[in-house]
Amino acid sequence: MSEKIPEMDVFLFKAIMSGMEGASAADKNRRVSETARNFVKMYISQRTGLKNDTLQFSTGPYGKPYIENCGVQFNISHCGNIVLVAFSEEEIGADVEVVNRTGTAIVERMFARGERDYIGLARTQPEAQRRFCEIWTAKEAFGKLLGAGLAVGTDFATADGSGMLDTVVSEKFGDAKLYHKQVSLRLTEDDFIPRRTEFTSQEEATFQICICARQLGKVNFQLFERLSLILLHFPLINL
């Protein structure tokens, strides 16, 4: 009998930032982190029947959060107030970034030859930005899958000259599967995104997401423009 590959539930949403006018970036990021963690507890409570107040966050050696004895693995990433949360029965890594840079210094220092070739073959600057972000989110997601972030180093590849791979190739850490997706979101005055002033248009931005796991089954992706819609989708039980 073949082994069942676990499905993944993946959510992308905006943390509501009303009432944060004039707040520092640190305070805004704290609000986003609290929103993401509350959503994790809400989801796990709904999925498992465990009471919300029994779900306590712990962190691994490199700061990766987890909740013990709930049977659900998760990973959180955010870019400003755009939040990505992924859930699975197995370890998982997730990353979201805004597509607006090429990161020349990072490419030269941290990207494998095939990854550099993939970016170098881009015909336009926007295409080079997109390719850079595909690779960068894949690297971040793989590092987070391992629980160490980019402290794992650069001894793995996510692309070659022909394009992105569907598998991270790593002799040192073992291979892992990748799920890529691009999403465009409307931005409001309340939304805060890193380097937003550099955008050609400040009314919309494109975000690259990547999910990484040892095995990649069906991915159930859901996008919510506002957190209130998520609250309607997942009734608040046991709170």
pTM for this prediction: 0.90
In-domain check, residue 191 = yes
pLDDT at 102: 74
Cα dihedral 106/108/113/114 (nearest 10): 40
In-domain check, residue 2 = no
CATH number where 55 lies: 3.90.470.20
Res. 93: pLDDT tops 90: yes
Res. 235: pLDDT tops 60: no
pLDDT band at residue 201 using 50, 70 and 90 as cut-offs = low
Cα dihedral 78/79/80/84 (nearest 10): -40
What does the pLDDT look like over 20-65, one tens digit per residue? Answer: 888 998 999 999 999 999 999 999 999 999 998 899 999 988 888 9
- Answer yes or no: are the C-beta atoms of 155 and 172 closer than 8 Å: yes
In-domain check, residue 239 = no
The tokens for 41 are 């507890």
What does the pLDDT look like over 145-166, one tens digit per residue? Answer: 998 776 666 778 899 988 999 9
In-domain check, residue 92 = yes
Q: Which domain holds residue 44?
A: 8-233
In-domain check, residue 152 = yes
Phi-psi region of 32 (alpha: psi -120 to 50; beta: other; left: phi over 0): alpha
Question: What does DSSP assign to residue 74?
Answer: E
The tokens for 210 are 């990547």
Q: What is the mean pLDDT of the chain?
A: 86
pLDDT at 231: 52
Q: Which position has the token pair 């693995």?
A: 73
Q: Give the pLDDT mean for 187-199.
A: 82
Helix (H) or strand (E) run with residue 47 in it: helix 25-48
Compute the Cα dihedral for 128, 181, 203, 106 and give only its sign. negative
Beta strands 8-14 and 219-224, pairing class? parallel
Q: Give the pLDDT mean for 206-215.
A: 96
CA–CA gap between residue 130 and residue 209 (Å, rounded): 11
Q: Give the pLDDT mean for 156-181.
A: 91
CA–CA gap between residue 124 and residue 228 (Å, rounded): 38
For the chain, percent of residues with pLDDT exceeding 90: 57
In-domain check, residue 102 = yes
User: How many structural domains are present in the chain?
Assistant: 1
What does the pLDDT look like over 58-88, one tens digit per residue? Answer: 998 888 899 988 999 999 999 999 999 999 9
In-domain check, residue 27 = yes
Phi, psi of 102 (to 5 degrees): -115, -20
In-domain check, residue 3 = no
Phi, psi of 162 (to 5 degrees): -90, -15
